[in-house]
A and B are shown apart, each in its own frame.
Chain A
Amino acid sequence: GQQLNQSPQSMFIQEGEDVSMNCTSSSIFNTWLWYKQDPGEGPVLLIALYKAGELTSNGRLTAQFGITRKDSFLNISASIPSDVGIYFCAGSYAGGTSYGKLTFGQGTILTVHP
């Protein structure tokens, strides 16, 4: 089945620094999503990408859908303490029995030091 490799597994940064994380897949997706999860809560959607090559921003967050459709990255600029949490990439392929199902990366744990 499809597998997502997300890296890095964890990051420890100073407030104000930029952050970059990425996901690669063994097969293609036609949707890439980035979520953030705080402890004890469900994931919250940050950015959705629907087209190969698409670059989308949401405030200090920027994400791109790779040209090969097998990868995506998320950048966070000028990090602040409330950026702390676990970031997940997720991909979906609209076809056959897998329609709408998400495959999640392993997550990136972000710690921001004030």
Chain B
Amino acid sequence: GAVVSQHPSRVICKSGTSVKIECRSLDFQATTMFWYRQFPKQSLMLMATSNEGSKATYEQGVEKDKFLINHASLTLSTLTVTSAHPEDSSFYICSARDPQNQPQHFGDGTRLSIL
């Protein structure tokens, strides 16, 4: 089945640091990837849709300058949390779907902790 790899699984860093998270589709080409944020005991909240070769589409209320998304190839999307602060601490999850419109498959998430 479809495999999505997310790296790193955990990041702990100081306030003001920028953090990059990678999402890779390992056995299929993903023209579209999605980035979610999840707070403890809550559901997944879509942050943005990452489109290969074009600009990402951000959900209402998500700061595009704060959460930079790059989808430079059909197997890789990156999310960069710029100048992270403690309120950015969360569980970030990516997903990908293949061009045959199969359901989204998720990575294992990245636990981001900003001190």
Contact = CB atoms under 8 A, between A and B. Distances in A.
Contacts of A100: 32, 49, 97, 101, 104
Interface residues of B, number: 24
Nearest to B94: A42
Interface of B is mostly: strand
B105 interface: yes
B32 A42 contact: no
B101 to A, nearest CB: 7
A40 B111 contact: yes
A48 B93 contact: no
A42 B43 contact: no
B38 to A, nearest CB: 9
A12 B62 CA distance: 36
21 contacts: A31-B103, A33-B103, A40-B91, A40-B109, A41-B108, A42-B95, A42-B106, A43-B44, A43-B93, A43-B106, A45-B104, A88-B43, A88-B44, A100-B32, A101-B49, A102-B34, A102-B104, A104-B43, A104-B44, A107-B42, A109-B41
